Amino acid sequence: MRTIALTVNGIRRELEVEPRQLLVYALREQLALTGTNIGCDTSSCGACTVHLDGESVKSCTLLAVQADGHEITTIEGLASNGDLHPMQQAFREQHALQCGYCTPGMIMAATSLLQEHPSPTEDEIRHGLEGNLCRCTGYQNIVKAVQAVAGAKVPA
Amino acid sequence: MSVAEPTTKVVGTRQLRKEDPELITGRGRYVDNISVPGMLWLGIVRSPYAHARINGVDTSRAKELDGVVAAYTAEELEFGAPLFMAWPINDQIKNPPHWPLAKDKARHVGDPVAVVVAESRALAADALERVDVDWEPLPVVTDVKAALADGAPVVHDEFGTNDAGSWSIEADSPVPSRGRTAPFFDDPDLVKIKEEYYLARLIPNAIEPRGVVVEPNVAMGEYVVYSSTQIPHILRTTLTITCGIPEAKLRVVAPDVGGGFGSKLEVYPEDAICLALAAKLNRPIKWIEERSENYVATRHGREMYQQIELAATRDGVLKAVRGNLTASMGAYLRLVSPGIPMLGAWLYHGCYECDAYDLEYTNVFTNQTYTDAYRGAGRPEATYAIERAMDALARELDMDPVELRRKNFIKNDKFPNYTIASGLTVDSANYEGTLEKCLEVLGYDELRADQKARRERGDGKLLGVGFSTWIEMCGLAPSRVLSALNYAAGGWDSAQIEFMPTGTVRVVTGVSPHGQGSATVFAQIVADQLGVEYDDVEVLHGDTQVSPLGMDTYGSRGVAVGGVALHNAGEQIIAKARTLAAHELECAEEDLEFEGGNFTVKGTDRSANIKALAFSSWTAHNLPDDMEPGLRASQLYDPPNFSWPNGAHCCVVEVDPDTGSVDIVRYIAVDDCGVQLNPMLVQGQVQGGVAQGIAEALFEEARYDEEGNLLTGTMTSYMIPGPPELPPYEIHDTVTPSPTNAMGVKGIGEAGTIAAPPAVINAVVDALSHLGVTNVERPATPERVWRAIQEARS
């Protein structure tokens, strides 16, 4: 077992982890942050996307020990002072989710995308989210939600 | 008396979802988020072979591992009955026993053969590596045509054949079709076409893998089964049959469910195994599917060979349609798999008139994962065949495909309740209207001109336009019809409404949504009907303890059956409240008008609000003599007919003749699902359905090698489209109310998946038709398209 220290949603945590433990299991099973979902074994679906030092990563692709000393933000840490993050609000307003399982990862990927490209084109949004799969929505309303947060005019 | 401000109507508006606040903040309650003290983890030993005799299973090395609590072979974990198969389509069906753990031989890669139980997820995974199975590999068959050939390996030895049984309109339909087709196909004056299509095997891929947690309540001898399922009620009944635990001791909970698309409309081995182990070990058991397991252990969909023949006059009047289908069942018959082709069996003549109709299908066993319902279930298959064949007939007759469709549509003045050629009765429709609207949005003539110009220039990308004017039957289903089709259960659903003393309303439904937004739309129904605020309506579902009666969610039945049950319960509430209002206001019931929550004595300002009446009914201080306290209602609704939505979809593609790549440049959907209670949710269903339909047409295909190994067993090898692969959709509608129910609603959950595949492939073929291409098998990958071009040119 290894002891790691990381900051998760602004709170410093110390954890005992097996060297083979994936970050997503440390978050879900040791810290009970179950908002980050697991959808595949191959880093394909993006349901487990979180922020590591402000950039989106797939938490099934990192070992927990690799997060030692870093800052992690999960979907549970996105709202501040009880106010939803604008991306969370936009997902609801644009009906960008149905079953909700991909949604936490999709929202984390989308917020990270806008940090890198504050005014993306539709094409840049679609390519920026290509690591995240949704089986319910067909993506159109997800794109609209990102456009809404970016301040672009959202087509009806 | 108390009078409240009338509430604002919410039905028909874009009401934001009640489901969302939890789901966007990471507070969803999916099965893998459930932990129970003392919980053990299940691991399943699965067959690495598609067909192999099990000569022995040795679990001793697994049991030696610290933290491993138990390990069992099929002989050591007994079940009272095989997993239940609910649709024996006729007396000739061959239904092999499907035990949760394979006993004698494994019949597909992923077939469960033994289990390990350990103190943690990781330990269970480690223990699986230490179970030794003595396998004797057997010959394998993975294609339905090969499986029917003489000398083919037999999946179930007891039958001596892989033919699982056949069904036909002529022999088995409870309603006659207009007539037999043979005379028309013998008529030399008619034009005939015969088309053959292969529908690739699909893997549903709900983003949430399956999972089960079973928690024994030791004191009560009861079990709580949490399962990622679309069908908690059906699961409870069928688990009783398999596990022998009394149904009254089972509570099944479908918590938040991360997508289903039919794949969670099932009673899986893991559901039964977890329950059996919880009973045997008296400990909570948890199993979470890995994606690699999901690819082989969660059911597949669609795979089918189709033959469809049309006979028509030379000026394009359709006279007869006949079809012959061969459907892959995979290794076992599952919950409803033998009847899946039947769900489309009356629809192979689409929304067109004809004089004669025949359809038959044969189900075939192979050494592959079992198939069953996948979004649309039978209806996408039918729509694909007829809509592709209509384009083929148009080419044969040198007619425009739009003109041929217009000429043969069932006309609007035939409705309501018109008996179509196959024999079923369609409630209402607007075939011409949806197509005309689609053409208007499209700018058809300009597109054809552009197509012609590109062809004449002979350079650049080719343009193709494809249509799908679709019809389906959904809102499953009238129980008497289901009985006539040899289905084992009914098709009704339930609703309860209860006014709380403090004026909020609790709704319980028997449908079990998993992304559709039923809680939102049901709250809209009740808010308007009873005149209460949308935010004051709470909708509960998916727990057999809270909602003891229900038939769950599939077949676009949420609103069309569950919603109508709810509306009927609301009428009962209003009737009782009216009686109480008349008592309190000292008037006759007929003198009361009910609007916006208030009962008002006509022509006066004397009024009683329904919330105040709810409180009065709870105190019961002053009720009419024969009235029970409380304001609640419970209704079961059995629909008198299916619901029959329709629409017209158009796909415009650009095909690069040098690479075979296909780009969708426009996708237009005009759908008619009757009255729309929440247009935002309707559009969401259409968009998601179209996405899955486009995926079938262009990207997705389960491929196997000759040994029966799934070659597309991960999300990296099975092509699920991401955001860049899918286009924006142009969504439009017409509204033709259903005459079957008071709300005029029809289902919409499967429409997009039913409509889209032929629109896309028709567009691809249309782009290449001047080269002589008449078919591109789906999915129309760049390689297939390129090869089709080369073959046509050579």
Q: Does A133 touch chain B (CB under 8 A)?
A: yes
What share of residues in chain A are helix, strand, coil (percent, to 5)?
Answer: 35, 20, 45
pLDDT score for A153: 62
Judge whether A146 is closer than 8 Å to chain B, CB to CB.
no
Query: For the segment B640-649, what is each residue's pLDDT rounded down to a tens digit?
Result: 999 999 999 9
Q: Is A48 on the interface with B (CB under 8 A)?
A: no
| Chain A residues within an 8 Å CB radius of B28 | 35, 37, 100-101, 103-104
The closest of B18, B12, B5, B15 to B531, measured between CA atoms, is: B5
Single-letter code of the amino acid located at B457: R
User: What is the predicted pLDDT for the residue at A47?
Assistant: 98
Give the number of other CB atoms < 10 A from CB of residue B324: 18
Measured distance CA(B548)–CA(B566) in Å, rounded: 15
Give chain B positions within 8 Å (CB) of A78.
25
B57 burial type by CB count under 10 A (0-12 exposed, 13-18 middle, 19+ buried): buried
Q: Which of A40, A42, A87, A126 to mutate to test the interface with B (most CBs of B within 10 A)?
A: A40
Residue with tokens 């893991």: B270
- The answer to whether B264 and B211 have CB atoms below 8 angstroms apart is no
Shortest CA distance from A46: residue in chain B: B207
pLDDT value at residue B8: 80
Judge if the upstream peptide bond of residue B779 is cis by omega within 30 degrees of 0.
Answer: yes
* B586 Rama sector, left if φ>0, alpha if ψ -120 to 50, beta otherwise: left
DSSP structural state of residue B780: -
pLDDT digits (tens, 9 = 90+) for B272-318: 999 999 999 999 999 999 999 999 999 999 999 999 999 999 999 99
Residues 64-123 of chain A whose Cβ lies under 8 A from any Cβ of chain B: 74-76, 78-79, 84, 88, 91-93, 95, 97-104, 107, 122-123
- Rounded to the nearest 10 degrees, what angle do helices B379-397 and B401-408 cross at? 110
Distance CA B98, CA B20 (A): 39
Cα B277 to Cα B32: distance, rounded to the nearest angstrom: 18
What whole-number distance in Å separates Cα of residue B507 and Cα of residue B523?
A: 8
* Upstream peptide bond of B477 is cis (omega within 30 degrees of 0): yes
Q: What is the pLDDT of residues B695-706, one digit of tens each?
A: 999 999 999 999
Rounded Cα gap, residues B49 and B331, in angstroms: 12
Contacts of A140 in chain B (CB under 8 A): 687, 726, 728-729
- Dihedrals phi, psi of B484, to nearest 5 degrees: -65, -20
How buried is B29 (Cβ within 10 angstroms: 0-12 exposed, 13-18 middle, 19+ buried)? middle
Tokens of B402: 């739009």
CB < 8 Å to A131, chain B: 722
Separation in Å, CA B734 to CA B646, B647, B672, B731: 10, 8, 5, 11
Helix pair angle (B610-619, B564-585), 10° resolution: 80
Kindly determine whether residue A101 and residue B16, on different chains, have CB atoms separated by under 8 Å.
no
Q: Do A138 and B687 lie within an 8 Å CB cutoff?
A: yes
What residues in B contact A59, CB-CB < 8 Å? none
Side chain identity at residue B542, one-letter code: G
pLDDT tier for residue B563 given thresholds of 50, 70 and 90: very high
Cβ distance of A130 and B684 shorter than 8 Å: no
Residue B44: helix, strand or coil by DSSP? strand
**What is the SS3 assignment for B16?**
coil
Cross-chain Cβ contact B25/A76 below 8 Å: yes
Report in angstroms the alpha-carbon separations of B295 from A41, A131, B187, B702, B706: 11, 20, 48, 9, 18
Distance (Å) from the alpha carbon of B210 to chain A's nearest alpha carbon: 10
Structure-block tokens of residue B655: 């095909």
pLDDT reported for residue B776: 98
* CA–CA distances in Å: residue B194 to residues B205, B309, B319, B503: 34, 4, 14, 63
pLDDT digits (tens, 9 = 90+) for B592-613: 999 999 999 999 999 999 999 9
* Chain A residues close to B716, C-beta within 8 Å: 42, 44
**Residue A58 to chain B, least CA–CA distance (Å):** 15
Quickly state the pLDDT bin for B499 (edges 50, 70, 90). Answer: very high
Distance from CA of B1 to the nearest CA of A (A): 39
Lookup: tokens for B763: 């567009």
Tokens of B684: 């969401």
How many other β-carbons are positioned within 10 Å of the β-carbon of residue B125?
A: 14
Which of A42, A100, A131 shows the shortest C-beta gap to B28? Answer: A100
Q: Name which of A28, A41, A78 is nearest B292 (Cβ-Cβ).
A: A41
> For the CA atoms of chain B, what is the radius of gyration?
28
- Whether the CB-CB separation of B322 and B299 falls below 8 Å is answered with no
How many Å lie between the alpha carbon of B689 and the closest alpha carbon of chain A?
8
In sequence order, the β-bridge partners of residue B46 are B112
Whole-number Å distance between alpha carbons of B648 and B755? 8
| Preferred mutation among B24, B29, B668, B733 to probe A, highest tally of A CBs within 10 A | B24
Q: Could you tell me which chain B residue has the CA closest to the CA of A22?
A: B122
Over its C-alpha atoms, chain A yields an Rg (Å, rounded) of: 15
Of all residues in chain A, the one with the smallest CA distance to B687 is: A138
SS3 content of chain B, % helix, strand, coil (to 5): 30, 25, 45
Percent of chain B with pLDDT over 70: 99
In B485-625, beta strands by DSSP E: 493-499, 505-509, 537-540, 592-595, 598-601, 607-609
Instruction: Determine how many CB atoms are found less than 10 A away from the CB of residue B132.
Output: 15
Contacts with A132 from chain B: Cβ below 8 Å: 722-723
Whether the predicted model's global pTM rises above the 0.95 cut: yes
ipTM of the complex: 0.98
Question: Tell me, what's the pLDDT at A154?
Answer: 65
Residues B539-561 pLDDT 10s: 999 999 999 999 999 999 999 99
Instruction: Find the CB nearest B715 among A44, A78, A125.
Output: A44
Distance CA B98, CA B238 (A): 13
- Contact criterion met (CB < 8 Å) for A75 and B25: yes
Backbone torsions φ then ψ of B18, nearest 5 degrees: -65, -25
Test A107 with B683 for CB contact under 8 angstroms: no
CB B641 within 8 A of CB B583: no
- Give residue B7's pLDDT: 75
Q: Which residues of B touch A37 (CB under 8 A)?
A: 28, 30, 32, 207-208, 258
Flag if A98 and B259 touch (Cβ within 8 Å): yes
What six digits make up the tokens of B140? 């394998």
The two three-digit tokens of residue B396, written as one number? 């044969």
Chain B residues closer than 8 Å to A135 by CB: 205-207, 259, 261, 688, 692, 720
Pairing of strands A2-8, A11-17: antiparallel
The predicted-structure confidence for B385-425, as pLDDT tens digits, reads as follows 999 999 999 999 999 999 999 999 999 999 999 999 999 99
Measured in whole angstroms, the distance separating CA B323 from the mean position of its chain's CA atoms is 23
Q: Give residue-wise pLDDT tens across range A75-99.
A: 999 998 889 999 999 999 999 999 9
- Average pLDDT of chain A, as a whole number: 96
Q: Which of A20, A60, A101, A125 is most worth mutating to test chain B (most B CB atoms within 10 A of its CB)?
A: A101
The yes-or-no verdict on residue B675 having pLDDT over 90 is yes
Two tokens at B13?
Answer: 């508006």
Whether residue B3 contacts residue B598, with contact meaning beta carbons closer than 8 Å, is answered with yes
State the pLDDT at residue B621. Answer: 98
Q: Which residues contact A29 (CB under 8 A, 6 or more apart)?
A: B121
Q: Rounded CA gap, B286 and B35, in Å?
A: 8
Mean pLDDT within B239-252: 97
Q: How far apart, in Å, do the first and last CA atoms of chain B sit? A: 86
Q: How far is B684 from chain A (nearest CA, A)?
A: 6
A24 pLDDT exceeds 60?
yes
Interchain CB distance below 8 Å, B28 and A35: yes
Contact B395, B322 (CB under 8 A): no
Tell me the pLDDT tens digit for each residue of A27-67.
999 999 999 999 998 999 999 999 999 999 999 999 999 99
Burial class (CB in 10 A: 0-12, 13-18, 19+), B150: exposed
Tell me which residue of B197, B203, B254 sits closest to B229, measured CA to CA.
B254
Q: Which amino acid is residue B436, in one-letter code? A: E
**Burial profile B176-200: b = 16 or more Cβ within 10 angstroms, e = fewer:** ebbeebeebbeeeebbbbebebbbb
pLDDT category, B3, cuts 50, 70, 90? Answer: low
